[in-house]
Amino acid sequence: MTDMTASPQTPAAELMVRAEQVHKSFGPLEVLKGIDLEVRSGEVCCLLGPSGSGKSTFLRCINHLEKIDAGRIWVDGDLIGYRERGGKLYEMRDRDVAAQRRAIGMVFQRFNLFPHMTVLQNVMEAPVLLRQAKKTEAREHAAQLLDRVGLGDKLGAYPGQLSGGQQQRVAIARALAMRPKLMLFDEPTSALDPELVGEVLDTMKDLARDGMTMIVVTHEIGFAREVGDHLVFMDGGVVVEQGDPREVISAPKHERTKAFLAKVL
């Protein structure tokens, strides 16, 4: 009972994310029915599945935007949202949850940039507000990141003046500004016009090449095949099939995976 050292369930060190039997319901609707997932450091994990299968919900559970009903999620060895002491779970205070989220970047389908701030302000807002860096350093870092996503000439623009692809790249830079260990992408390209998808995927490929650990919900099979280290296919709130992306895509074992891939390919 009083033993507070690592329990046998504590995940191995090189695991960035470990989810165990994650359950989540909205009222009577059970959306996640026991998800198990492991993502190693530096790995790109692609999450595939039909609409309503619970992909977004699962992603939001990882940074505790949604509270899970059962199971456990660890990010970099830290239990998310709770503290476990003497075999008992304690809810974390808002402040501690916020601190955990700082290490996890998230990119949304609809960008969610702050429209009242310029591009540069969007990117440096959180690091300055949360005292991660001095203002001058934060500005320098933000300008660097924006340069890296190809928007070095748009620092003073407002989000409303940018194309969707540019906005999404700003959103990526904004998440990176907190120097996260893990990046979550929720269908980052599905709100974009087809000709703008490429520029965002290229940015993400760069990120993957630099060794960022990423979980990407996407319908871009090409991206999963090319960049993904691991592919997870979800349906109806469970993981139906997972493995090497190239194998799963070329030779799906499960009927539901086959049916889904036939539709999107």
Partner 1 sequence: MSADTSGRARPEPIKAVPVRHPGRWVGVAVIAVLVAMFVHMLVTNSAFQWSFMVDEMFRPPIIEGLRGTILLLITSMVIGIGLGIVIAIMRLSPNPVLRGVAWVYTWFFRAVPRLVLAILFGNLGILWSRLEFGLPFDRQIGALFGLHDFEARLFGFSAVDILTGFVAGMLALGLSEAAYMAEIVRAGIQSVDEGQTEAAQALGMSRAQILRRIVLPQAMRVIIPPTGNETIAMLKDTSLVAFVPVSMELFFQLKAVGSRTFQPFPMYVAATLWYLLLTSVLLVGQYYLERHYSKGFGRSGRARQRLRNLTAESGSTTSGTAQ
Ligand X SMILES: Nc1ncnc2c1ncn2[C@@H]1O[C@H](COP(=O)(O)OP(=O)(O)OP(=O)(O)O)[C@@H](O)[C@H]1O
Q: Which residues bind Mg ion (CB under 5 A)?
A: 56
Q: How many residues bind ligand X (CB under 6 A)?
A: 11
Site string for partner 1, 25-64 (x = CB under 8 A): --------------------------------------x-
Is 227 near partner 1 (CB under 8 A)? no
Is 64 near ligand X (CB under 6 A)? no
Q: Which residues contact 98 (CB under 8 A, 6 or more apart)?
A: none
Is 63 near ligand X (CB under 6 A)? no
Which of ligand X, partner 1, Mg ion, none has residue 49 at its interface (CB below 5 to 8 Å by kind)? ligand X
Alpha-carbon gap, residue 142 to 117, rounded angstroms: 14
Which of 53, 166, 189, 257 is in the footprint of ligand X by CB under 6 A? 53
Q: How many residues bind partner 1 (CB under 8 A)?
A: 39
Which of 22, 39, 46, 56 is in the footprint of ligand X by CB under 6 A? 56
Which of 19, 104, 145, 172 is in the footprint of partner 1 by CB under 8 A? 104
Shortest distance (Å) from residue 3 CB to partner 1: 31
Is 52 near ligand X (CB under 6 A)? yes
Is 168 near ligand X (CB under 6 A)? no
CB of 57 or CB of 167, closer to ligand X: 57
CB of 187 or CB of 241, closer to Mg ion: 187
Angle 215-219-56 from CA coordinates, rounded to 5°? 50
CB of 237 or CB of 252, closer to ligand X: 237
CB of 117 or CB of 261, closer to ligand X: 261
Answer yes or no: are the C-beta atoms of 245 and 228 closer than 8 Å: yes
Answer yes or no: are the C-beta atoms of 2 and 206 closer than 8 Å: no
Answer yes or no: are the C-beta atoms of 192 and 164 closer than 8 Å: yes
Which of ligand X, Mg ion, partner 1, none has residue 139 at its interface (CB below 5 to 8 Å by kind)? partner 1
CA dist list (Å): 136 to 131, 156, 208: 12, 16, 28
Answer yes or no: are the C-beta atoms of 192 and 200 closer than 8 Å: yes
Phi-psi region of 14 (alpha: psi -120 to 50; beta: other; left: phi over 0): alpha
Site string for partner 1, 121-140 (x = CB under 8 A): x---xx--xx--------x-
Q: Is 85 helix (H, G, I), strand (E, B) or coil?
A: strand
User: What's the full length of the chain, in residues?
Assistant: 265
DSSP states of 144-195 as a string?
HHHHHTT-TT-TT--GGGS-HHHHHHHHHHHHHTT--SEEEEESTTTTS-HH
